[in-house]
Structure 1
Amino acid sequence: MEIKRIFLIGFMGSGKSTLGRRLKTELGWDFIDLDDYFEMRYQTTIKQFFAENGETAFREAERKMVSEVVHKEKTIIATGGGAPCYFDNMQVMNKHGLTIYIKLSVNTLANRLSSPKQVRPLVAGKSGDELIAYITEKLTEREPFYNQAKVIADGDMLGVDGFVRIIEASGQLIK
């Protein structure tokens, strides 16, 4: 399989953007954080867009973003945590690129999301058991979509080198 684009999927805080930026350097490809792409395109924050237009409008706009980026070559795309779970986004990403689910344990996600460096509106004010319950509930909803990825990678165990090896073993990267 010829790999023209890579989609990084997973729960918020799983490291999609961080890994995407590091893979950009390692592979020499472009990198798009779909959330940043959205905010640049719509000239507003996702939080503000949600507040003014609602989740349905956000998910429809996000779907348009997915449809746009599937035509970019030599590009690593970090999706929002919910993007694979709406419309046919997961099928579209699987059709047009290598999808990698960065899978982390609930406890690892909770530790990352409770960090003061993380500013996530959906988990603001949640801590301890409440945060773990929220992550567990959302993962239960989302994992059937995430698990459709071509590669499911243990984010707790792999470093960037491990992800590069997985990508190289998955097919031929276009030059």
Structure 2
Amino acid sequence: MNHSRIFVIGFMGSDRRGLAEKLAKEYQYRVFDLDDEIEKKDGRTVQRICMMMGEHEYRNKEYEMLCLLAEEEGIVVSCGDGVMLDEMNRDILEQNKVIVADGDISPKTLWERAKDEKGLPYAFMNQSDSSLKKEKFFALYEQRKPLYNQFI
């Protein structure tokens, strides 16, 4: 396992970026945000990529960027909350150090943090029916929890 690359993962509402910045400072590594790097290269926001091309295309772009970043040394990368959904992405991450941001925080707390966040690429997070939005958030959390738990 390569420890000169650290990938920070976590569900919506977790402070992936904050933890990545903290670790980068601690190790004197460069810090990257995977979504920011995808947006710089593509020229569109993640939300726009997902809306226009679908989540599958976004996962392809995620994989391409992970491949590029996996060639770097001395980096900490904050990843989007669904990075673990793609098997090829998981293969890259598993060859490096992976840390789950806020893995010990309750889904209720994550919901409180995420419910009003702007720019999330999930259509359900942009709807006005807050009870349906909350229901879908918790269902997605339960679906993804096992992927995160393998690194806690």
Whether contact under 8 Å (1:9, 1:80) holds in the other structure is: yes
Whether contact under 8 Å (1:33, 1:78) holds in the other structure is: yes
Displacement, 1:121?
4.4
Gaps of 5+ in 1: 153-175
Please give the alpha-carbon distance, in whole angstroms, between the structure 1 residues aligned to 2:128 and 2:99: 28
- The RMSD of aligned alpha carbons is 1.9
What's 2:93 paired with? 93
Which amino acid counterpart does residue 134 of structure 2 have in structure 1? I
The 1:88–1:148 alpha-carbon spacing in structure 2 relative to 1, beyond 3 Å, is farther
Q: Does 1:54 align with 2:54?
A: yes
Please give the alpha-carbon distance, in whole angstroms, between the structure 2 residues aligned to 1:91 and 1:148: 13
Whether contact under 8 Å (1:114, 1:127) holds in the other structure is: no
Q: Where do 1:24-173 residues align within 5 Å?
A: 24-95=24-95, 97-102=96-101, 103=103, 104-115=105-116, 118-119=117-118, 120-122=120-122, 123-125=125-127, 129-149=131-151, 152=152
The 1:23–1:126 alpha-carbon spacing in structure 2 relative to 1, beyond 3 Å, is farther
Please give the alpha-carbon distance, in whole angstroms, between the structure 2 residues aligned to 1:34 and 1:26: 20
Whether contact under 8 Å (2:29, 2:74) holds in the other structure is: yes
What's the TM-score, normalizing by structure 2? 0.86
Please give the alpha-carbon distance, in whole angstroms, between the structure 2 residues aligned to 1:25 and 1:6: 12
Whether contact under 8 Å (2:29, 2:76) holds in the other structure is: yes
The 1:28–1:77 alpha-carbon spacing in structure 2 relative to 1, beyond 3 Å, is same
Q: Secondary structure at the match of 1:13?
A: coil
Please give the alpha-carbon distance, in whole angstroms, between the structure 1 residues aligned to 2:68 and 2:141: 27
Gaps of 5+ in 2: none
Which amino acid counterpart does residue 114 of structure 1 have in structure 2? K
What's the TM-score, normalizing by structure 1? 0.75
Please give the alpha-carbon distance, in whole angstroms, between the structure 1 residues aligned to 2:106 and 2:135: 13
Displacement, 1:128?
5.2
Q: Secondary structure at the match of 1:11?
A: coil
Please give the alpha-carbon distance, in whole angstroms, between the structure 2 residues aligned to 1:88 and 1:148: 16
Which amino acid counterpart does residue 63 of structure 1 have in structure 2? Y
Which amino acid counterpart does residue 100 of structure 1 have in structure 2? I
The 1:131–1:106 alpha-carbon spacing in structure 2 relative to 1, beyond 3 Å, is farther
The 1:4–1:109 alpha-carbon spacing in structure 2 relative to 1, beyond 3 Å, is same
Q: Secondary structure at the match of 1:23?
A: helix
Q: Secondary structure at the match of 1:71?
A: coil
